[in-house]
Structure 1
Amino acid sequence: MTDELLEPRSLSVRRVIVELERHVATAGWDAPVRVFALVKTAGALERDPSLANRLPTEVITAAQEDPDHLTAVEQEGLPQASTLEELLHQIAWPESVDGSAVVVERTVLPPEVENQIPDDAEIAAAWIDSHPDRRDVRIGAAVLRTGEYCCAVRARDHDSEDSVAVGPDLAPGLVEAVGATLE
């Protein structure tokens, strides 16, 4: 889908997940989960005018031109969790946050081999790690309180900005989990 066909909020959420995936990619692979609060830049500037002194000029200009422009604020000091699901269940956002985004790395297998994965978690992990068709991917999902969402996926074996897949339905489970943090 081309950007021209997207509604303004859908375009904003698409832009922010692409920016976040690129930002996270600068740190390389084998990185921890990254969590971001998404706020409408214009609203944040209205609530805190001094923010204009800390944001780049191009962000201020974008917010003036687009009331749906989003700024991502990375969350530090995340709670301890053994799984992504456990981490996301511990996160709740105040009403001043317009959305949330998560960028995480995962190993994926072709659907036709998923029923071959051993039941034991340790054995399954070793089996997946040694499978010849496994792919390491970085997946990002951004979700707004108003319901718009978008995903970005980059495969480690095609690690370039022009090889990032972007669309709403690339990681439905992650979209649902990120959206639940906004409820």
Structure 2
Amino acid sequence: MSTPDASWIEDPDLASAVAEVEEFAGAAGWDRPPQLFALVRTADLARAEPQLAARLAGAAEWTPIAQDALPEGDLADALATVGWPPEVAGCVLVQEILVLPPVAPAGDTAGIRAAPADDVPAAGTDPAAPDGRPHREGRLVAGVLRDRPGGACLLRMRDLPDTPLRGADLAPNLLAALRTTLSD
């Protein structure tokens, strides 16, 4: 019997750091550019910066530290230029995204049902979607640790702010891109 892949299971301490970053980003409001955070072990930060020790007492395992703004343009290109020193144990990225509904193959209506009009959340039209599919805006926060598999993600929809989605499997490609920033 093989060992199941547990990379979809969130590390609770990493998930806590991701939630902290999302709360910080939420306080700044919507319509913000992507922002990157370094994650350092709180105990290591307290030893390195003794003047912060009292403020960090009892804090979470990981402390997120906001980084300079990412260059404008393609996020993948920006992440390809990022490298971290060994003291950085992980990183978290927060970005706003458009969530499009899935597209069924032509003629395939399996699993598609019409929702009553009052159950459908307010939606816009993404001009980039050639078929004019409705979209919803969200804030996606994803984080990884250098020495642990998987990651943690949180997605807060703009129209449903009190109901965030969580799970390491929400953005596997983004988690992989963040992991490459931690490569030696």
TM-score by length of 1: 0.76
Whether the aligned pair in 1 keeps the contact of 2:36 and 2:69 (CA below 8 Å) is no
Please tell me the root mean square deviation across aligned C-alpha atoms, in Å: 2.5
Task: Confirm whether residue 61 of structure 1 aligns to residue 58 of structure 2.
Answer: yes
Structure 1: state its 5+ residue gaps: 1-8, 64-68, 116-124
TM-score by length of 2: 0.76
1:61/1:171 Cα in 2 relative to 1: closer, same or farther (>3 Å)? same
Question: 2:102: which partner in 1?
Answer: 111
Deviations 1:15-63 (A, max 9, x none): 010111111011111110010000000011122322326xx3xx31236
Shift of 1:77: 4.2
CA distance in 1, matches of 2:130, 2:136: 9
CA distance in 1, matches of 2:160, 2:59: 31
Whether the aligned pair in 2 keeps the contact of 1:128 and 1:134 (CA below 8 Å) is no
Question: 1:3: which partner in 2?
Answer: none
Question: 2:110: which partner in 1?
Answer: none
Which letter does structure 1 place at the counterpart of 2:77? Answer: E
1:129/1:29 Cα in 2 relative to 1: closer, same or farther (>3 Å)? farther
CA distance in 2, matches of 1:33, 1:62: 25
**Count of residue pairs brought into register by the alignment:** 155
* 1:114-153 alignment runs, 5 A limit: 126-128=127-129, 131-148=132-149, 149-153=151-155
1:131/1:29 Cα in 2 relative to 1: closer, same or farther (>3 Å)? farther
Which letter does structure 1 place at the counterpart of 2:177? Answer: A
Question: 2:63: which partner in 1?
Answer: 71
Shift of 1:73: 0.2
Question: 2:90: which partner in 1?
Answer: 99
CA distance in 2, matches of 1:29, 1:77: 16
Which letter does structure 2 place at the counterpart of 1:106? Answer: I
CA distance in 2, matches of 1:131, 1:75: 36
Shift of 1:104: 0.4
CA distance in 2, matches of 1:169, 1:144: 15
Structure 2: state its 5+ residue gaps: 1-9, 107-125
State the percentage of identical aligned residues: 34
1:181/1:76 Cα in 2 relative to 1: closer, same or farther (>3 Å)? same
* 1:158-169 alignment runs, 5 A limit: 158-160=160-162, 163-169=163-169
- Rg larger in structure: 2
Structure 1 SS opposite 2:175: helix
Whether the aligned pair in 1 keeps the contact of 2:36 and 2:93 (CA below 8 Å) is yes
CA distance in 2, matches of 1:60, 1:130: 53
Whether the aligned pair in 1 keeps the contact of 2:79 and 2:177 (CA below 8 Å) is yes
1:36/1:155 Cα in 2 relative to 1: closer, same or farther (>3 Å)? same
1:34/1:50 Cα in 2 relative to 1: closer, same or farther (>3 Å)? same
Question: 1:178: which partner in 2?
Answer: 178
